[in-house]
Copies of this chain bind each other. A is one copy, B any other.
Amino acid sequence: MVVIGNEILSGKVTDTNSPYLARHLRGLGVELARVNVIPDEIDTIAAVVAEYAEAFDVVFTSGGVGPTHDDVTLDGVARAFGVELVEDPGLRASMERIVGDRPDPAFLKMAQVPQGAELVEGGNPAFPTVVKENVYVLPGIPEIFQSKVEGLSERFRSEPYHLRTVLVSQHETSIAKYLDATLAEYPDLLLGSYPKLSNPEYKVRLTLESKDEKYVDRALDDLVSRMPEGFVVRVER
């Protein structure tokens, strides 16, 4: 995911789209590999989008889509693929239905897409999503971002992750060796260890995950059986 916006880097706005996308993709069984927050600069957008489009299966961008000077995401995506922005006749016709047949340049800007882009329906019905190769260009406004992601979800659904959680009464330093031992037996386990300061119920939350449900349950049994009596506060399945 590439989040585009000076307002986020300058602390004026807190990005809620990347936490939303992280949770939503995880629910679809999709691994989110990177989130990069970058400024409204065409060259920077082009460089990061080109790098990620090559390295990953799918890229989502958030923000920088609109009629004003700081909306340069589509310019950046076009440059990433070495193509020009061109007017899409369908988008132009939509604009004209809204504002008449002599639209202001600010409206015409929103009818421009990178050459060869596909327009995908789904989510907010008024505007399709611009997709160039494997790059999905989404708007920054959270309500519309979420609506579009939901509308596109079935394109990305994969095998689900199975999550088990273990709450532990001891500090990480006391349990690290048990985690290492379980990982030695179950090297493909996705195992996270998260200390919680000043939580009255537990000190560390462990998360065990796999796309193979039997594997994660065997690893869970292994880990719980290694820990001394009283260490495990609760197991959540």
Task: Report the separation of the CA atoms of residues A97 and B99 in the bound assembly, to the nearest whole angstrom.
Answer: 73
* A interface, size bucket: 35 or more
Name the distance in Å between A52's Cβ and chain B's nearest Cβ: 11
Which residues of B have CB within 8 Å of A18? 37
SS class, residues of chain A in contact with chain B? mixed
Given known contacts A10-B22, A25-B11, A69-B179, A36 and B39 CB-to-CB distance under 8 angstroms? no
Residues of B within 8 A of A192 (CB): 6-7, 12, 70
Task: Let me know if B23 and A11 touch, CB within 8 A.
Answer: yes
A180-207 vs B, Cβ < 8 Å mask (1 yes, 0 no)? 1001000000111111010000000001
A27: chain B residues at CB < 8 Å are: 11
User: In the complex, what distance in Å separates the CA atom of A209 from the CA atom of B190?
Assistant: 44
A33-B39 contact in complex given A70-B192, A106-B177, A207-B7, C-beta closer than 8 Å: yes
A8 proximity list for chain B (CB < 8 A) = 22, 35
A232 interface contact, C-beta 8 A: no
- Chain B nearest CB, measured from A30 CB (Å): 10
* Chain B contacts for A23, CB-based, 8 A: 11
Q: A122 in the interface, Cβ–Cβ < 8 Å?
A: no
User: Are A9 and B37 in contact, with the CB atoms below 8 A?
Assistant: no
Contact A11 B22 (CB under 8 A): yes
The chain B residue sitting closest to A110, CB to CB, is: B173
For residue A157, which residues in chain B have a CB less than 8 angstroms away from its CB?
none
Q: Which residues of B contact A217 (CB under 8 A)?
A: none
Contact residue among B14, B22, B35, B67 (Cβ-Cβ distance under 8 Å from A176): B67
* Shortest distance from the beta carbon of A177 to any chain B beta carbon, whole Å: 7
A90 within 8 A of B: no
Interface pairs A-B: 4 shortest CB-CB: A11-B23, A11-B22, A106-B176, A35-B37
* Sampled A-B contacts (20; CB under 8 Å): A7-B192, A9-B22, A9-B31, A10-B26, A10-B32, A10-B209, A11-B23, A11-B32, A12-B26, A14-B19, A35-B36, A66-B172, A66-B195, A68-B172, A69-B193, A70-B192, A104-B176, A104-B177, A143-B197, A144-B197
